[in-house]
């Protein structure tokens, strides 16, 4: 997986045929990732074993997100097939933070906050950015990972970076 130090046991099944399947059928080896163990603690195996993933074939937007009502991880099929492997890996880490937050009963989409100021997003981006640095990304590469042109860029990206200590 490129030059980054992603755990050897991590595998991403890019060619999922089903629309819904177990997390471990798509994302193998994440139970051994230290960042994931920090998210779920001793409940890591149980949390990942019970997690479902939806891979819709008709998603026209987005990359990866948590369906807050159903508690499933949703992955855009095109992104799963063609996305940069390091970005996919980091997005999984980010979304697993949201899964944990949902398990704790937290409001993932609290409209009192703008996206980059929302406590749940700050926490998830902080964990993902820390993991990006751990796997060998430079700060510049982390900023490139965080940037989503037209949405999460410019002053908004700067505010997010300030919020997560980057």
- Global pTM? 0.93
Average pLDDT on 71-98 reads 95
Domain range list for the chain: 11-163
To the nearest whole percent, how much of the chain has pLDDT over 90? 82
Give the orientation angle of helix 154-163 with respect to helix 119-134, to 10 degrees: 80
pLDDT at 161: 94
Report pLDDT digits (tens) over 38-83: 999 999 999 999 999 999 987 667 799 999 899 999 999 999 999 9
């Amino acid at each position: 997986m490129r030059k980054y130090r992603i755990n050897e046991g991590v595998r991403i099944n890019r060619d999922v045929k089903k629309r819904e399947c177990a997390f471990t059928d798509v994302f193998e080896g994440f139970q051994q990732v230290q960042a994931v163990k920090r998210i779920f603690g001793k409940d890591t195996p149980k949390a990942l074993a019970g997690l479902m993933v939806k891979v819709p074939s008709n998603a026209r937007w987005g990359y990866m997100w948590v369906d807050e009502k159903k508690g499933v991880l949703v992955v855009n099929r095109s992104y799963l097939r063609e996305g940069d492997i390091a970005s996919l890996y980091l997005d999984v880490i980010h979304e697993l933070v949201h899964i944990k937050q949902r398990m704790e009963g937290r409001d993932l989409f609290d409209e009192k906050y703008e996206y980059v100021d929302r406590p749940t997003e700050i926490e998830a981006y902080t964990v993902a950015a820390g993991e990006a640095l751990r796997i060998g990304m430079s700060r510049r590469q982390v900023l490139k990972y965080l940037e989503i042109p037209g949405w999460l860029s410019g002053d908004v990206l700067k505010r997010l970076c300030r919020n997560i200590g980057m």
